[in-house]
């Protein structure tokens, strides 16, 4: 290590000391070793997901926040085309926000993954415009939303408009078709998309995409790996359609309505390794589409009331990145960049500093 680099790390540690969480404070002895950040390992591609909608929830200016996120040094970022934002009036499209995000990420030399369809990252997952809500039942529980052919047709029309508008963006290399389309989660009130509809949407995007652009599908692994058969079904449906499959990995989440948390057991990690080998066998790219790097707390859309929460800490995140890298995943997308910046804006810099260390590993 050069003297200049040593000085930089020492000053960073001193500057961030006051923002350390409890698990860091117990270990402090004046070095990076004591912060639990030695032996950092990172995959070939390290990225994050950015949501202008999440910035709105958190009271952040999305342009200011995105510029800061781009400055961290990620080589890949996932952006979201939100239906309610882009088509607020039927057949009238506004790409102002998306165009700006694409231009800014290109200026920083960051490769882009863009979600398309009716289901996109961040609550409420299904981002229907008001005019569609007014015309159709979009909230029925435990049903494939596309069973109403009118909703499916309008969603395909929206997807086509997005692809046609941005497909020539120079740094756009991946299209993500929907977001966890085959999983049936509480956050979506049990709603999901049928395999037949997603197959149609996939074919549409392939027909319109530039030759160098690939398709990504995302799915999840449940905690505490209690329903691996259902997870396997969604994984197989994803691998059938895409060039890359991204898995969403959360390692400490609320357990129902209690104050306890669910955490992975050995079958969880075994399944992740099995899926990685399966993807390699089929010559598909192996991604972690969401690696938990933000608190997930009971009945909170965004956990902002306290400086720290047990569900996610910088040390937990660094260890998770190491574990996923060791499993062989070539792309890891960290979830929670808006939260790191919100912490930084509130003079709690440990999250931000830790992300810098992981990126530089």
pLDDT tens column, 270-282: 999 999 999 999 9
Residue 11 lies in a domain: no
Q: List the chain pLDDT tens, one digit each, 361 residues.
A: 433 333 344 334 434 433 444 444 333 333 455 456 889 999 999 999 999 999 999 999 999 999 999 999 999 999 999 999 999 999 999 999 999 999 999 999 999 999 999 999 999 999 999 999 999 999 876 679 999 999 999 999 999 999 999 999 999 999 999 999 998 877 777 788 999 999 999 999 999 999 999 999 999 998 876 678 889 999 999 999 999 999 999 999 999 777 899 999 999 999 999 999 999 999 999 999 999 999 999 999 999 999 899 999 999 999 999 999 999 999 999 999 999 999 999 999 999 999 999 999 9
Dihedral Cα 235, 237, 240, 241, nearest 10 deg: -110
Query: Is residue 295 included in any domain, yes or no?
Result: yes
Give the Cα-Cα-Cα angle 129, 130, 133 (nearest 5 degrees). 95
Asked, for residue 12, whether it belongs to a domain, the answer is no
Closest among 3, 19, 21, 4 to 308, alpha carbons compared = 21
* In-domain check, residue 14: no
- From 313, 336, 332, select the one nearest 323 (Cα to Cα): 332
Element holding 130 (H helix, E strand): helix 130-135
328 part of a folded domain: yes
In which domain, by residue range, is 184 found? 39-360
- The answer to whether 359 and 332 are in contact (CB under 8 A) is no
Single out the residue of 177, 273, 268 nearest to residue 223, CA to CA: 268
DSSP lists the bridge partners of residue 89 as: 92
The answer to whether the CB of 177 falls within 8 A of the CB of 139 is: no
pLDDT at 224: 76
- Please name the residues in contact with 192: beta carbons below 8 A apart, sequence gap of 6 or more: 144, 145, 181, 182, 183, 184
Q: Is residue 179 part of a domain?
A: yes
CB 9 within 8 A of CB 296: no
**In CATH, what number is assigned to the domain containing residue 141?**
3.20.20.80
Cis peptide leading into 224, omega within 30 of 0? yes
| Number of domains forming the structure of the chain | 1
Q: How far apart are the first and last CA of the chain?
A: 13
Answer whether 69's CB lies under 8 Å from 97's CB. Answer: no
């Amino acid at each position: 290590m050069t003297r200049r680099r040593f000085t930089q790390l020492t000053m960073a540690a001193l500057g961030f000391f006051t923002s350390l969480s409890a698990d860091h404070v117990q270990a402090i002895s004046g070095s990076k070793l004591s912060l639990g950040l030695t032996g950092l390992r990172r995959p070939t591609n390290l990225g994050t997901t950015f949501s202008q909608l999440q910035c709105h929830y958190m009271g952040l200016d999305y342009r200011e926040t995105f510029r800061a996120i781009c400055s961290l040094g990620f080589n890949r970022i996932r952006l979201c085309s939100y239906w309610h934002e882009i088509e607020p009036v039927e057949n009238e499209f506004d790409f102002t926000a998306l165009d700006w995000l694409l231009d800014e990420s290109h200026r920083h030399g960051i490769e882009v993954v863009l979600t398309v369809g009716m289901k996109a990252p961040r609550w409420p997952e299904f981002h229907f415009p008001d005019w569609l809500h007014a015309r159709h039942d979009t909230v029925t529980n435990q049903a494939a939303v596309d069973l109403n052919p009118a909703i499916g047709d309008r969603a395909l029309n929206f997807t086509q408009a997005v692809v046609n508008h941005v497909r020539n963006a120079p740094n756009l290399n991946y299209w993500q078709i929907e977001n966890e389309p085959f999983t049936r989660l509480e956050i979506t009130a049990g709603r999901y998309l049928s395999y037949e509809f997603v197959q149609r949407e996939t074919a549409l995007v392939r027909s319109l995409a530039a030759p160098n652009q690939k398709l990504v599908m995302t799915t999840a692994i449940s905690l505490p790996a209690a329903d691996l058969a259902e997870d396997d079904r969604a994984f197989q449906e994803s691998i059938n359609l895409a060039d890359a499959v991204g898995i969403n990995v959360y390692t400490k989440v609320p357990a129902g309505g209690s104050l306890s948390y669910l955490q992975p057991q050995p079958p969880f990690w075994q399944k992740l390794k099995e899926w990685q080998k399966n993807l390699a066998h089929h010559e598909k790219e192996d991604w972690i589409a969401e690696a938990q790097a933000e608190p997930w707390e009971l009945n909170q859309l965004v956990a902002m009331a306290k400086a720290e929460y047990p569900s996610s800490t910088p040390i937990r995140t660094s260890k998770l990145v190491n574990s996923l890298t060791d499993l062989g995943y070539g792309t890891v997308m960290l979830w929670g960049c808006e939260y790191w910046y919100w912490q930084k804006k509130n003079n709690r810099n440990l999250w931000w500093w830790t992300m810098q260390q992981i990126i530089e590993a």
